[in-house]
Amino acid sequence: MKLLKRISAVFAAAAMALALAGCNNGGSSAPESGNASGGTFRTVDQIKESGEIKIGVFSDKNPFGYVDNEGNYKGYDVYFAERIAKDLGVKLNLMPVEAASRVEFLETAKVDIILANFTVTPERAEKVDFAPAYMKVALGVVSPDSAMIKSVDELKGKTLIVVKGTTAETYFTENVPDVKLQKYDEYNEAYSALQDGRGDAFSTDNTEVLAWAKSNPGFTVGIDSLGSTDAIAPAVTKGNETLLKWLTDEITTLGEEQFFHKNYDETLAAVYGDDETYKENLVVEGGKMD
Amino acid sequence: MGNNFLRLLSGLWVTVRISLISIAFSLVLGTLLGAVMTSRNRVVKVLCRVYLEIVRIMPQLVWLFIVFFGVTRLTGANFGGETSAVIVFTIWGAAEMGDLVRGTFEAIPRHQFESSLSLGLTKPQMYISIIFPQALRNLLPNVINLATRMIKTTALVSIIGVTEVLKVGKQIIDANRFEFPNAAIWVYAAIFFMYFLICFPLSMISRAIVKKQQRSEGE
């Protein structure tokens, strides 16, 4: 029995590692090759021949990828996915994915493209190939109208609410030492703290605070773009050069017709408003980040 | 609110479909496995034990990743989400079921076997008239318990792209998060009620069967 227990322990450890890897956005336990060793990716010609493209999107991240009350996929990512299918001349097959399994879906070629609010990071770029950006995200700071904070200087000596483990926490810890951070585990706790006046302002991704301020009168996003700007881009299976090239060309072409501005108006304006500066803070045309 | 109720029901159907198919497979395979597990052969015993322990210790989430992504990675075989889910829940259900069957048979007192044989019953007669009815009565509550656990665990399958009832609920909450920030409690209440509607009849059925058996034995 003792031996059995030991064997079990080994399996348990392996299982834990795997589970963690899964939660870690695809994880580090993937084979070194990085290529889709099992299911192989499909080239542009193969996709056209099959008459269908499989694109992985979020199904519960309003307003980027979600399912509306009629059961139809909607959102900024979905709007782009529909255009991709149209320009390829194929039927669109949207697959719901979770943040934790996005990389796996590409590595096993279960989808051709991931369009799920996928932030470009060096770790992910080792496992998948990113096309040029179609959106960007930075930090935002929301505060009450009565004591609105419009610049980082105004934050000095004040109490700033952040959520643990977010880029906001890292950014303010490293770059703004004279602000007092008040840390919470969850978003709704942080928002309650802000509403109760336990802190002077709250900072996290600008997309998040902009949407929240819109539905909470009395609060405004005083700083809407702060810190390093992260790119949100479509991703394909590592090594799928034809599809990557097609997507790169597509994004360049779409930039000429200001496609993503139109996408913003159709899908994001209802949440973020028509304000031009907000729009320019989120939308990327032709893959050009600045 | 649009088609939301119908969508929840179709999500519920996915949940029920995966559970029912898995439970059916588990019953058959688990009974066979249970019979094998009562074997006196040490090698067979150890193998069964290792299988059971591995299945019990690994979280179902990990199994879903292994079957849905891992198998494709290693062999190129591409299972759909629902098929993968049924495979995982059958692997799990069969192991648990096998252990239940083994435990039930071993718990039947030896004198039941011995006195049946000394009364002149043949072995098949002994199993059909004496052993199985007793085993079934002890087994049933545990099997129902396993079934309800399996139904609830299917909530994990959204990680491999299968949209079951809980995922539909999350989609509805999210789609309305700006207009109705408090929708969550109502949607979750509806889902709770749906799970209850499936699981409660199961317990009722098992209770009815047990009662009926007790009555017929009392006669």
Separation in Å, CA of A255 to nearest CA in chain B:
29
CA distance B3 to B82: 23
ipTM reported for the complex surpasses 0.85: no
Of B54, B161, B177, the CB nearest to A97: B161
CB < 8 Å to B2, chain A: 68-71
Residue A185: inside a domain:
yes
Q: What is the domain-level CATH number for residue B37?
A: 1.10.3720.10
Instruction: Mark yes or no for CB contact A69/B74 under 8 Å.
Output: no
Say yes or no: B49 contacts chain A, CB-CB below 8 A: yes
Count of CA atoms in the C-beta half-sphere (13 A) of A261:
11
Residue A70: inside a domain:
yes
**Buried (b) or exposed (e) across A258-288, using 16+ Cβ within 10 A?**
ebbeebbeebbeebbeeeeebbebbbbbbbe
Residue A2: inside a domain:
no
Separation in Å, CA of B43 to nearest CA in chain A:
13
In this structure, the answer to whether residues A149 and A264 fall within a common structural domain is: no
In this structure, the answer to whether residues A64 and A207 fall within a common structural domain is: no
CB < 8 Å to B76, chain A: 38-40
Instruction: Mark yes or no for CB contact A98/B158 under 8 Å.
Output: yes
Separation in Å, CA of A132 to nearest CA in chain B:
26
Instruction: Mark yes or no for CB contact A69/B54 under 8 Å.
Output: no
In this structure, the answer to whether residues A62 and A186 fall within a common structural domain is: no
Residue A130: inside a domain:
yes
In this structure, the answer to whether residues A125 and A251 fall within a common structural domain is: yes
Q: What is the pLDDT of residue A39?
A: 65
- Selected for mutation to probe chain B from A3, A54, A67 (highest B CB count within 10 Å) is A67
In this structure, the answer to whether residues A105 and A56 fall within a common structural domain is: yes
Of B75, B163, B171, the CB nearest to A66: B171
Q: Among A214, A229, A244, which residue terminates a domain?
A: A229
CB < 8 Å to B62, chain A: 15, 18-19, 22
- Residue of A173, A38, A161 lying closest to A105 (CA atoms): A38
In this structure, the answer to whether residues A114 and A252 fall within a common structural domain is: yes
Chain B nearest-CA residue for A40: B76
Return the number of CB contacts < 8 Å for A and B: 112
Instruction: Mark yes or no for CB contact B2/A7 under 8 Å.
Output: no
Residue A35: inside a domain:
no
Provide the residue range defining the domain that includes B63: 4-218
CA distance B69 to A26: 11
In this structure, the answer to whether residues A273 and A142 fall within a common structural domain is: no
Separation in Å, CA A107 to CA A38, A213, A245, A250, B2: 8, 38, 18, 23, 36
Number of domains in chain A: 2
CB < 8 Å to B180, chain A: none
In this structure, the answer to whether residues A216 and A103 fall within a common structural domain is: no
Q: What is the pLDDT of residue B39?
A: 85
DSSP structure class, residue A136: E
SS (H, E, C) B81-130: HHHHHHHHHHHHHHHHHHHHHHHHHHHCCHHHHHHHHHCCCCHHHHHHHH
Q: What is the domain-level CATH number for residue A124?
A: 3.40.190.10
CB < 8 Å to B177, chain A: 62
Separation in Å, CA of A200 to nearest CA in chain B:
23
CA distance B38 to A286: 68
**pLDDT of B2 strictly over 80:** no
Instruction: Mark yes or no for CB contact B69/A31 under 8 Å.
Output: no
Of B7, B75, B167, the CB nearest to A71: B7
Q: What is the pLDDT of residue B162?
A: 94
Provide the residue range defining the domain that includes A83: 44-134+233-280
Residue A121: inside a domain:
yes
Render B36-71 in DSSP notation, one character per residue: HHT---HHHHHHHHHHHHHHHHS-HHHHHHIIIIIH
CA dihedral over A232, A60, B88, B188, signed as positive or negative: positive
Say yes or no: A64 contacts chain B, CB-CB below 8 A: no
In this structure, the answer to whether residues A85 and A97 fall within a common structural domain is: yes
- Residue of A221, A76, A230, A61 lying closest to A148 (CA atoms): A221
Chain A nearest-CA residue for B52: A8
Instruction: Mark yes or no for CB contact B78/A110 under 8 Å.
Output: yes
Structure confidence by residue, pLDDT tens digits, B89-123: 999 999 999 999 999 988 999 999 999 999 999 98
Read off the pLDDT band of B167 (50, 70, 90).
very high
E strand residue ranges, A233-269: 235-237
Single-letter code of the amino acid located at B49: R
The mean per-residue pLDDT over the stretch B38-53 comes to: 91
Instruction: Mark yes or no for CB contact B171/A67 under 8 Å.
Output: yes
In this structure, the answer to whether residues A62 and A105 fall within a common structural domain is: yes
Of B49, B57, B74, the CB nearest to A15: B57
Can you tell me whether residue A79 is helix, strand or coil? helix
Looking at chain A from residue 158 to 217, which residues have their Cβ under 8 Å from any Cβ of chain B?
A: 211, 214-215
CB < 8 Å to A105, chain B: 161
Q: Give percent of chain B above pLDDT 70.
A: 98
- Output phi, psi for A96, to 5 deg: -75, 130
Distance, CA of B198 to chain centre? 13
Low-confidence spans in chain A with pLDDT less than 70: 1-39
The mean per-residue pLDDT over the stretch B201-207 comes to: 85
CA distance A106 to A124: 11
Number of domains in chain B: 1
Of B59, B159, B175, the CB nearest to A98: B159
For chain B, the maximum distance between any two Cα atoms, rounded to a whole number of angstroms, is: 75
Check whether the bond before A63 is cis (ω within 30° of 0): yes
Burial of A157 (0-12, 13-18, 19+ CB in 10 A): exposed
CA distance A290 to A228: 12
Q: What is the pLDDT of residue B1?
A: 63
Token pair for A179? 């602000």
In this structure, the answer to whether residues A52 and A173 fall within a common structural domain is: no
Structure confidence by residue, pLDDT tens digits, B52-63: 999 999 999 999
Residue B163 contacts by C-beta under 8 Å, 6 or more apart in sequence?
A59, A96, B11, B14, B171
CB A63 within 8 A of CB A268: yes
Say yes or no: A68 contacts chain B, CB-CB below 8 A: yes
In this structure, the answer to whether residues A225 and A143 fall within a common structural domain is: yes
